Amino acid sequence: MLKIWGRTNSSNVKKVLWCAEELGLDYERIDAGGAFGVVNDPAYRALNPNGLVPCIEDDGFVLWESNAVVRYLAEGDPERRLVPSSRQDKASAERWMDWTTSTIAGPFRDVFWNVVRRTAQDRVETELSRGLDSCGRLLAIADKALAGQAYLSGEKFGIGDIPLGCLAYGWFNMPIERPDLPHLAAWYERLTERPAYRRAVMIPLT
């Protein structure tokens, strides 16, 4: 059985859990990271020397890095339901995966930590303001793309939607001021209708 190490409130772990739920995979999730520890244990470091989550083991094959895991699980689906059919469409979807990780994740973390995980006394207002400005500007790029297609993966939901979709839940549910991005909001509403998204992503923000 597929094993997934990670805590459910990690956005990177959510990617993998959401993908697994979309594909209807049987898996065992093992609490790791944050308050659960485990990630510095020698046995875990032998699996993932970075000491981060998620990490998976699939019939003896070990893989870490959340986007790589999502791609691996999606490619293993005989029906390839989450993978665009053409080479170019697949590359376009994967672009959004990597863009989210390399470009949005940092400023989003600044917002999330200051709004959700830090107390009011510990909040760094300059960091929060900078994160909000950056997220608003960057999410406008996705909003523009979504004006012409239903999903970041194209006309059908797929792997390209998963990384940003995990952050979108926090973005639309934190008590913050957000710019009006109607196409992004409509895309998010479509995601909330997916049972797998509701199970893996739409959990309390912590």
- Residue 156's domain is classified under what CATH number? 1.20.1050.10
Helix axes 87-99, 66-75, angle to 10 degrees: 150
Question: pLDDT of the chain along its 206 residues, tens only?
Answer: 999 999 999 999 999 999 999 999 999 999 999 999 999 999 999 999 999 999 999 999 999 999 999 999 999 999 999 999 999 999 999 999 999 999 999 999 999 999 999 999 999 999 999 999 999 999 999 999 999 999 999 999 999 999 999 999 999 999 999 999 999 999 999 999 999 999 999 999 99
Residue 204 in any domain: the answer is: no
Q: What single letter denotes the amino acid at residue 126?
A: T
Return d(Cα 176, Cα 131) in angstroms, integer: 11
Residue 49 lies in a domain: yes
What's the confidence (pLDDT) of residue 62? 98
* Contacts with 17 (C-beta within 8 Å, 6 or more apart), sequence order: 4, 6, 8, 29, 200
Residue 205 within a domain:
no
Distances (CA, A) of 177 to 101, 111, 115: 23, 11, 12
Q: Do 102 and 189 belong together in one domain?
A: yes
Q: Are residues 132 and 187 in the same domain?
A: yes
Task: Note the pTM of the prediction, 2 decimals.
Answer: 0.97
Domain boundary pick from 75, 98, 126: 75
Domain tally for the chain?
Answer: 2
The arrangement of strands across the sheet holding 2-5 comes to 27-30, 2-5, 55-58, 61-64
Domain that holds residue 157: 87-197
**Amino acid found at 11:** S
Q: What CA–CA distances, in Å, run from 18 to 103, 149, 187, 188? A: 21, 22, 16, 15
Residues 98 and 193 in one domain: yes
Are both 37 and 105 inside the same structural domain?
no
Alpha-carbon span 42 to 203, nearest angstrom: 31
